[in-house]
């Protein structure tokens, strides 16, 4: 029972962290031209918007210091920060590790196949193509709903 509670807590913390990091670090600091995080806005968002969700940087393994390599470094740092939990709250650690791996896999796939993104991650597809000031979660929009930042694009018929 304790392990299951730890696992659940890990999933919640991972989703909250994904929301927070995307909104406040990748977008706030990412819009600062001299910031390390500028790659997210200046490279990733720019390319995804130009190519209708596709980001060719995900077609190959990360190259030295491209967007994908920087994303890997950030995810690896999060793994390292959570490593101590493995010894005294490994349900939590397993959830964090699973969440980080899932994040990378689904984020990469979303930028390799727009059809897949539109079908399985519509909130992320909408974040890139309709409203980059909403829909901060990538893997699952739980914290977007909790923080009231989940926005669906309005269709022309809904506006009237």
Share of the chain above pLDDT 90, in %: 63
Give me the pLDDT at residue 39, please.
86
User: If DSSP codes are grouped into helix, strand and coil, which group holds residue 15?
Assistant: helix
pLDDT of residue 15: 97
Pairwise pLDDT comparison (72 vs 133), residue with the higher score: 133
Q: What is the pTM of this model?
A: 0.88
d(CA 73, CA 135): 23
Query: Which range among 25-29, 60-64, 72-76, 122-126 shows the weakest confidence by mean pLDDT?
Result: 60-64
Beta-carbon count within 10 A of 83 CB:
12
Q: Is the pLDDT of residue 127 over 90?
A: yes
State the pLDDT confidence band at 60, using cuts at 50, 70 and 90: confident
Average pLDDT of span 91-100:
92
The b/e string for 31-70 (b: 16+ C-beta within 10 A; e otherwise) is: eeeebebbbbbebbbebbeeeebbbebbeeeeeeebbbeb
Average pLDDT of the residues in 1-21: 94
Let me know the angle formed at the C-alpha of 10 by 9 and 15, rounded to the nearest 5 degrees: 100
Q: What percent of the chain has pLDDT over 70?
A: 95
pLDDT band at 158 (very low <50, low <70, confident <90, very high): low
Q: Give the least confident one: 19-23, 38-42, 111-115.
A: 38-42
pLDDT value of position 65: 72
DSSP assignment of 112-144 equals T-HHHHHHH-HHHHHHHHT-TTS---SS--HHH
133 pLDDT exceeds 80? Answer: yes
């Amino acid at each position: 029972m304790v392990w299951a509670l730890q696992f659940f807590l890990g999933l919640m913390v991972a989703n909250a962290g994904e929301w927070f990091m995307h909104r406040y670090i990748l977008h706030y600091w990412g819009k600062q031209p001299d910031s390390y995080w500028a790659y997210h806005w200046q490279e990733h968002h720019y390319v995804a918007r130009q190519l209708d969700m596709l980001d060719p940087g995900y077609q190959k393994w990360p190259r030295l210091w491209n967007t994908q390599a920087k994303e890997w470094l950030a995810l690896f740092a999060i793994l390292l920060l959570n490593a101590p939990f493995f010894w005294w709250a490994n349900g939590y650690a397993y959830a964090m590790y699973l969440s980080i791996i899932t994040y990378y896999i689904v984020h990469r796939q979303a930028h390799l196949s727009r059809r897949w993104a539109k079908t399985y991650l519509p909130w992320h597809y909408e974040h890139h193509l309709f409203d980059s000031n909403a829909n901060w979660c990538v893997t699952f929009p739980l914290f977007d709903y909790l923080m009231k930042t989940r926005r669906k694009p309005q269709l022309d018929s809904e506006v009237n």
